[in-house]
Structure 1
């Protein structure tokens, strides 16, 4: 049955089956993960994107909300070779269009060869190819989503009690819930602050560590978070994950660039330059650090040598491009959170200049 259409920026239109109705648009990306679809679909880093699963069957172990990384589905739409009814019903209940019964191998190959591209989806009884094309033509580049942080961040500060051994000020640029869980499990009280919090608001928390979270979009559009990172660097230990690494590098004089199709999946190999140890990691990003500025590149992606870890002993900074919280994915790098909190004991917190 054909009652859905996917229109790509390169002019092609795919016929498909509607599993959750609606019309939408976004940047077409793919993930190679074969498990963890609940975590991927609730990861705020997928905001304003259309997520294609390269694994052919999505939903074979149901849907359980305790595995969610946020309180709702984040991508604009979802594509698979086949969705189970559980996943399709979940996406429909959240108003997120979903389509299947199309050749996802061809879609993934296209993104790998041509890069992430604009796409439009029309799904449902009255959907037409023209509807999908119109959605695609209205799609804007990720860099033009200048206030995407407002879509994924908390509106007001939140506090998560971890026992009070440490105080972490977490800039919420689209933070996954498992980041907070890993910090509280290690005794940290986590103060989740809006993505546009001021240095003064962060100072009011009296943090032992300032932590910049993951999130969607172009790091250059997170100017407030860059201001915070610059204000506290060298005074209070500073950490970041994914978008957070890019923000910290930019704040200290480095630069970032958009990747062709990014890293998304749970089997990305990362090599530590000091030990030569290789770990498998979970990743979800479309931008990378081009110039680390004063930070030292300590880990790289085995496939393309892009920076995966940045450190500075002098400034008490540690960041990672991958997702050490491993939801979904391998647990090889969970010790990152121990390393972050070890920094908290190295110096007493002071207020920003």
Structure 2
């Protein structure tokens, strides 16, 4: 977050704690990336989440209002500490999206598939320092949740549509097999619970978050759960009609072309999209690769008695 956290929530500096929570809930319900894929909504959500993470803590809010800390809380990104340490007045804590430790907000996100989380925590010069400096005589008494891992993962169109498996390499070495759910969307984040870094003491492991990008397909285009396909047809199929084989994400099917079809006509294959969606087939009449003498002679004879003007309905002057 960069800027005024009150502005990110649409509030004045005099806002109460209840007003801050209410403003954040409203933005989260409207702009969470798993509910609204618009990049602008994602940016608003991240800004509001970081703002709420700062302002929900009375001490941090007081220090920000007093100019003692900046809008980022003087903390390093991508670190998150166990709650009892994160809320200590003398400990910095990292940005999250604001709902991880707030039971009053958990219902907003409980049914989201691609829940976002904060980064995990470390233990070193940039984190807590030594366990003795934190008042612990034994390192086993020090409990820290493991670091969250984040990956950008590109998958092919068919894997996104039908689901599948892939493998990613982990930072500390080794591989992780990942199941891609059927119908995953471009930009969606998949949470793999417990697949992040190891925790310390009784702190559990972090999670892994995979942000999905989908490679384009040469023939299919996707609109939600619907599939669009441009289908070339011959001039005689357009004129006479007939049955043709059409590819779908589940294999080829027969499609009836009505006689007299034009380029741009759309036909629907019900249920042939993703998760019950449809497939739209848009026809495109294609001339043969070479217009030979037979076709030329036929068209010249046909034109004499069947001439027509396809541009007669144009509104502009021609």
Shorter-chain TM-score tier: under 0.3
Task: Answer 1 or 2: which has greater strand percent.
Answer: 1
TM-score by length of 2: 0.24
TM-score (norm 1): 0.22
